Structure 1
Amino acid sequence: MSQVTRCDSNDSNLLNFGTFPRPHCILQVSCAILRKHQMSNSRKKIELFYDVVSPYTWLAFEVLCRYRKVWNVELKLRPAYLGGVMLGSGNSSPASVLNKRRYMTKDLNRLAAYMNVPLRHPSDVFEVMFKKGSLTAMHFITAVAEKEKDSDRLVENVSRELWKRIWSTDQDICEPVSLSEAGLNAGLSSIEVEELLSLAQSQPIKDKLMQTTQEALDYKAFGFPLIVCHGDGKPQVYFGSDRFELIAHCIGEKWLGPQPDKPTSHL
């Protein structure tokens, strides 16, 4: 006579030969499978189009990465080229207006303190943003993204290291040695870094960056950060690092402040 199995949450019991689960066990297992299926289907997706030359985007990047474990969302990091978006949309830098530039300096300092991001202005912002730019760095990040198809852990780490180099420690992000240091600090091996530096100069990677930049323009981007929420129905597009309450409302989640593990009392 066959042994009756005990009931647990592991539906593999249903496949054990020579066992006969009780009817209520079958019902419980079926419900568990159904709940798992419903959760995967209800999970929302958020795309972040970004360029490490943008300080406001660094703020949005850090906050969204923190919420990966808080919201039922899949965060998709989309490295793109801000210069291409500005050109393609006909936009110009707010830094070209003196009063805006003065305001942005104070605004970034306040936001960095509020969001707990170690942002500090480089000694020559104009040189960093407009003379050197970020094309080489974004090719490198795109190469990392293409190499790491099943996860974006290294993409997140490399992006953060490059942001820190510009907007925290006032270092270069254009020279290969600088990219190598960022890659090593992000957890890549020296062999991987060399492979990625070579890959970053290839035409497929350049085409991929252009493609992602065009996708941002297709969403009517005019700057970064560009955040696209995919929930029920049409994708919702948000610009800036101060739209998290609206994003939470869009995906049916709760906004707990920029540090969800340390909620503030003034929300």
Structure 2
Amino acid sequence: MGPRSRTLELFYDVLSPYSWLAFEILCRYKNIWNVDLQLRPSLISGIMKDSGSLTAMRFLTSVKLEHPEMLEKVSRELWLRIWSRDEDITEPQSILAAAEKAGMSTAQARGLLERVSTPQVKNQLRETTEAACKHGAFGLPITVAHLDDTTHMLFGSDRMELLAHVLGEKWMGPVPPVGNARL
């Protein structure tokens, strides 16, 4: 028998500070728990009908489509701008600044920003948001755990201990004692 299939989908919006908590915790635990973490930028306004982060979420969707290896870093920089430094994330220059701080070249970031209004990006964000709703989302973040043939949806950033239990793993708090954990 091969290893169990263990995938976690994190549906999030950078407008949600609770999504940020779930994002950081799951990024810290993905290797500890040996899970495939799939980051799923979603539009909270599509779920709650009112958000100011449409361009930022379209930008993250564009990043996921064209430079998925940068998605974790760019998402983190947008959260740091809005929730840690009280900086804007709605204006193009703000989004470019976050992308560049995350290590993306100016040309790459500008190219992605130019595509935020394309049908491909709009449709992908809409599909991801609809997928979150199909899983029962009524807000963000939600984490969807796919374990073999079973799916579990957990709402909120305060359900990590329950997620560890579902995975059959140990919960060691929001900052596990590993060398590469970040705060």
TM-score range, shorter chain: over 0.9
Identity of aligned residues (%): 49
2:42 aligned with 1:137: no
| Residues 134, 173 of structure 1: 8 Å contact kept | yes
How far residue 232 of structure 1 moved from its aligned partner, in angstroms, is 3.3
Structure 2 partner of 1:235: 151
Q: Aligned residue pairs: how many?
A: 178
Structure 2 partner of 1:207: 123
Structure 2 partner of 1:74: 36
Structure 1 partner of 2:102: 186
Structure 1 partner of 2:19: 57
TM-score norm. by structure 1 comes to 0.64
| Residues 44, 73 of structure 1: 8 Å contact kept | yes
Q: Give the distance between the partners of 1:51 and 1:154, measured in 2 at CA.
A: 16
Q: Report the 3-state secondary structure (helix = DSSP H, G, I; strand = E; otherwise coil) of the residue aligned with 2:30.
A: helix
How far residue 153 of structure 1 moved from its aligned partner, in angstroms, is 3.4
How far residue 249 of structure 1 moved from its aligned partner, in angstroms, is 1.3
1:224 to 111, 119, 140: 140
Amino acid at match of 1:83: S
2:62 aligned with 1:146: no
How far residue 160 of structure 1 moved from its aligned partner, in angstroms, is 0.5
| Residues 144, 155 of structure 1: 8 Å contact kept | yes
How far residue 143 of structure 1 moved from its aligned partner, in angstroms, is 0.1
Q: Report the 3-state secondary structure (helix = DSSP H, G, I; strand = E; otherwise coil) of the residue aligned with 1:235.
A: strand
Q: Report the 3-state secondary structure (helix = DSSP H, G, I; strand = E; otherwise coil) of the residue aligned with 2:55.
A: helix
Tell me the alpha carbon deviations over residues 95-143 of structure 1, each in whole angstroms, 9 at most, x when there is no partner: xxxxxxxxxxxxxxxxxxxxxxxxxxxxxxxxxx85xx10010000000
Q: Give the distance between the partners of 2:157 and 2:93, measured in 1 at CA.
A: 31
Give the unaligned 5+ runs of structure 2.
Answer: 179-183
Amino acid at match of 1:138: M
Give the unaligned 5+ runs of structure 1.
Answer: 1-33, 88-128, 263-267
More strand by share: 2
How far residue 43 of structure 1 moved from its aligned partner, in angstroms, is 3.9
The equivalences for 1:42-53 within 5 A come to 42-53=4-15
Q: Give the distance between the partners of 1:170 and 1:243, measured in 2 at CA.
A: 27
Structure 2 partner of 1:115: none
| Residues 10, 38 of structure 2: 8 Å contact kept | yes
Structure 1 partner of 2:85: 169
2:58 aligned with 1:156: no
Amino acid at match of 2:27: C
The 10-residue stretch of structure 1 (75-84 or 231-240) with the greater mean CA deviation from structure 2: 231-240
The equivalences for 1:13-52 within 5 A come to 38-39=2-3, 42-52=4-14
Q: Report the 3-state secondary structure (helix = DSSP H, G, I; strand = E; otherwise coil) of the residue aligned with 2:104.
A: coil
More helix by share: 1
**Alignment RMSD, CA only?**
1.5
